[in-house]
Every structure is written in C-alpha cells, then in structure tokens.
Structure 1
Amino acid sequence: MMLKAHVVALAALTFCSASALAAGETLRVGADLTYPPFQYRDVNGKPTGFEIDITNAICKAMEVKCDYVVSSFDAEIPSLMAKKVDFISPLGATSKRKKSIDFSHFVYHVPSQLVVHKGSTLQPTPESLQGKNIAVQQGSIQEMYANKYWAPKGVNVKAYPDQDGIYQDLAADRLDGALSPSVAVTFGFLQKPEGKDFELTGPEVRDDVLFSIGSAYGVRKGDEKTQQLLNEGLAKIMADGTWQKIKQHYFGDITMKVARTETTDAAK
C-alpha cells in the first residue's frame, strides 16, 4: 500500500515538474515579426499579433517570462538548434522538420491558398501557373510545396525572407501571385490599401507528405521540460477560454482549432 502511494506521489511530482521547475524562469522565443496578424510590431515597436498573444497567455499561465528574439522565419530552426532561443513560434509540424526538432501540441491550423490580382484566371496548378512568377516565404511549407510540384513544371518560384516583401512585390506588379497562409492574407494584406486589388483563388493547397494538419511550437530534440511546459500552458488557456477569446479577437468565427492536440504522426 505504501509502495502504491509512493508511485502515485512520484507520478504527480513528474506531472507538475514542468510548472515547478520553470516558475520564474525567462524563456527566449524565436519570432519573425513580419507576419501580420500572427506576428508583427505595434505602433510602439512591441511584438504583438495572434501568435504573440497566445504565447504570452501560455507564459503567464505557466508563470514564466518570455522574451522575443527576432529573426527571419528561415533562421528560426537553426537558432533553436544553436541554443540561441528556447523555443520558436508555431510552424507546421511537418515530417521533414520533425527530423531536426520536436514540437508541442497543435496550436492552430491555417490553409494555404494562392493570392492573385482580382479577376485573374490563375489557379493553384502547375498548368495554370507555368511561366508565372509566384512568391513563397523562405523555409515555409509553401516553399517546399512549390519547389516540389510547381518549379519542375516551369513555374518561376521566388522565395522571400518575409511576407512583407511578398506583399510589396505583389502590389508593385512584380509578381503574378503568391502561395501563402490564407488567414494571414485575409486578415493582413487584403485588409490594407495595397491589398485591395487582390484576392484568394482556388481550393486549399494540400499535400499529405509535406504538410501538417496544424502548427505547433518548435523545441529542441529531447527538451521535454520546455515541450511539457508549452503543452500544459496551451491546455490551460484552451480550457479556460483564453485561446478562443484571442482567436475571436483576430479572426472572428473562423475555425482554427485542430481536431486532435498531439503532433504524433501529424505529417506522415
């Protein structure tokens, strides 16, 4: 009986270890602040956006301080592996990325779609886009998809270090289109004056090998402490309604929750 009680107590201690060990610590978060409304700087230069607010809520729930380390999106995984940051903002938990890093539970899902000039007949197929200049963000799942399926068929895939550069060249007519996360385009670029002549077209672009069913925080391989802390914090803000409140603020009634929380076998 005493042995059983000891085992139960040990299990409870293990479950709470992430919270207890992390309380009061400062964690460095890799972020790319050129991706509104997910990550950007407000008028005072402070990090803000959907992902930033979610991350801040998790850090508050777990009683840790989170400092943002800004870099380009394609530099985030190398920074994580080099221990320059403790975890990185949500990104697609693809099978390729899982070879290098581990992930938290899913935070949200956003479809990928093609954005083009209003009235354009272009569709997200290699036949339709042959000879056209199509932008993607460096290091993104959209870049992987376009390089695998479109570039070999004659599509001019142009990689940019950030979404701002893509939006600027779309508005300047230097691009025929861009493959981007649809929610970011809808609630970012399309709501700005420079995006008024553009629209999303065609169905969601998907691939069961390259894509994940959702985005999750990236952590270093074997860093179970940070992974558990993020998972516990995410579970807390989903249970108490904070996640939904933040999502509603930025995206209204759009459904962004992933049906299951785990990232295991998310991208086979």
Structure 2
Amino acid sequence: MKTFLKTAVAAAALALAGTFAASAEQVKVGFSPEAYPPFYSQDASGKWGGWEVDIAMAICAEAKLDCVLTPIPWDGLIPGLKTKKIDTIMNSMSITDERKKEIDFSDKYYNTPTSIAGAKGQKFDATPEGLKGKVIGVQVSTIHAAYAKKHFGSTAAEIKEYQTQDEANQDLAAGRIDATQADQIALDAFLQSDQGKACCDMKGNVAPDLEVLGPGVGAGVRKGDDELKGKINTAIKAIRTNGKYAEITKKYFTFDVYGDEVQSN
C-alpha cells in the first residue's frame, strides 16, 4: 500500500510539474555578450544586466514567456535565429528593410539618435565634409557600419570595422582612429567613463536616413513566427501603458528613450 501511495504521489507531482512547465513558454533571447552600457553590462559574478535586459525580461513576464538570455556573437545573431538556436533577438537591433528580408521584427521598443565621437582637440562635425580624410571605426554588421559606408565612404580615409563597439572605443582612445559612430546613449556612456572623459568628446548626431537607420529597435523573430511576434507586440504596448516601461527607464535615463510614436510592423 505504501509503495502504491508513493508511486501515486510521485506521479501526481510529475503531472503537476509538467502542468507548471507548460504554463510558460521557454524562449531563448539572443544577445551579443559584450558590454554595451547602459543597455547590456556584466557584473563581477558574470550576470548580465542593464536597461535592455530589464525591458526584455519585463516584456517576457508580461507575455508569460520563460525567457533565457542566450549569448551569441553579434554577427551570428540573425543566422542563429534562422537556424533556431535562439527564438528572438533583443539586443539593440534596429529595424531595417535589409534585415527584414531575412527576419521579422516586433514593434519598436526604443529609438535614440546616432552620433559621432572623436578625439578631443580635433574640431570636426558629423558630416561627410567634417569627416573628410578621417579614419572612422564602426561595429561590423550594424546600421552604423552601413550608414558610414553610404554617407562617409567617399570622403573618409578608411571605414574600419570591429567585432565590438568596445574595440572601436579602445582604438579611438588610443589614437588609432579619428572617430567612431554608434548609438548616442552608448557613446555617451563611454564618454562618461574615465577613459572616455580623458580622450574624447561628442562631435554631433548624423543626418537622418530612415532607409539605413530604420524607425527604431525591435525584437527580431523568425519569418512567419507571428504568434511570438504578436505576444511581444502586445507586451510592449502593455508595459508602455501600465508604467513598467517608465519605471525601468527612470533607473537608467532622465528621459524617455522610446522616441516618437510609429506604426506597427
């Protein structure tokens, strides 16, 4: 009898565990394991945090998704999504027509300006004329690389590509390049660091180019995964409405990084 009861209890526990597990869909959230403060940063224990991590987890919680951060190098994110190594990308990936040929996107969840930083003492602005003869560092396979090639490629001495933005920042600080282009907030975080304060300053924002820079940052999903895309879109709207988005944003910024309202994808 005791054996029967133990077996029954064990079976019930397994059934309950299975029911609980089924209540939340596991989703692998792809991100590039590199410091990109204040969006992504790693503490001494190796745990990743930052504004975008908090927003991604808030979206997942609202959508009742069991999300797991899954590190993949930046240029492997889209291939990893397409081959189902990950289920979505939440890593400051801008929505562009070129990327939409390969993957789908959720609605945007933030949109901030694109800027140029350079060495202190060098007087130039963020224009093709201002960057004439300069060596410009950009992160490979980003909208910034595409923009720099399109707008500065004919006047710059070189468009130098790096695997990470941090590598570009380090070369700028060391004087190996003249300028770097990236998201304004990410560049500002570098310029507020001890190293950034010592070497460099902001030269200005680049001219708009919706075709290259896109309407903002969204979550990348596989082509045809309308169910996940729909859940993410609904969750983005919900956290914008219920105050969770603002609550998280106030921890990192003094302004709303969402930008202007845009139509859904």
Fold-level similarity (TM above 0.5): yes
**CA offsets, 1:91-138, max 9 Å, x none?**
111111111111111101011010012232122222322222111111
Contact 2:127 2:206 in 1 (8 A): no
Contact 2:117 2:179 in 1 (8 A): yes
Residue 42 of structure 1: aligned partner: 43
Where do 5+ consecutive residues of structure 2 fail to align?
1-21
Rounded Cα–Cα distance in structure 2 between residues aligned with 1:23 and 1:99: 33
**CA offsets, 1:50-94, max 9 Å, x none?**
111100111112222111111222221111111110000141111
**CA offsets, 1:26-69, max 9 Å, x none?**
10011023211111212211111111110011111222211111
Rounded Cα–Cα distance in structure 2 between residues aligned with 1:51 and 1:155: 34
Rounded Cα–Cα distance in structure 2 between residues aligned with 1:221 and 1:212: 19
Contact 1:92 1:216 in 2 (8 A): yes
TM (norm. structure 1) is: 0.85
Residue 261 of structure 2: aligned partner: 260
Indicate the RMSD between aligned Cα atoms, in angstroms: 1.8
Rounded Cα–Cα distance in structure 2 between residues aligned with 1:208 and 1:58: 26
Match of 1:162 among 147, 161, 164: 164
Residue 75 of structure 1: aligned partner: 76
Count of matched residue positions in the alignment of Structure 1 and Structure 2: 242
Rounded Cα–Cα distance in structure 2 between residues aligned with 1:43 and 1:99: 39
Match of 2:175 among 165, 173, 178: 173
Amino acid at match of 2:52: E
**CA offsets, 1:159-205, max 9 Å, x none?**
1111111111111111111011001111x211211101321112333
Rounded Cα–Cα distance in structure 1 between residues aligned with 2:154 and 2:72: 30
Aligned-residue identity in percent: 35
The alpha carbon displacement at 1:261 in A equals: 4.8
TM (norm. structure 2) is: 0.86
Rounded Cα–Cα distance in structure 1 between residues aligned with 2:207 and 2:88: 28
Contact 2:115 2:187 in 1 (8 A): no
Rounded Cα–Cα distance in structure 2 between residues aligned with 1:33 and 1:252: 26
Contact 2:191 2:201 in 1 (8 A): yes
Secondary structure of 1:144's aligned partner? helix
Residue 12 of structure 1: aligned partner: none
**1:120-199 map, 5 Å:** 120-186=122-188, 188-196=189-197, 197-199=199-201
Rounded Cα–Cα distance in structure 2 between residues aligned with 1:31 and 1:202: 28
Rounded Cα–Cα distance in structure 2 between residues aligned with 1:215 and 1:221: 17
Where do 5+ consecutive residues of structure 1 fail to align?
1-21
Contact 1:115 1:199 in 2 (8 A): yes
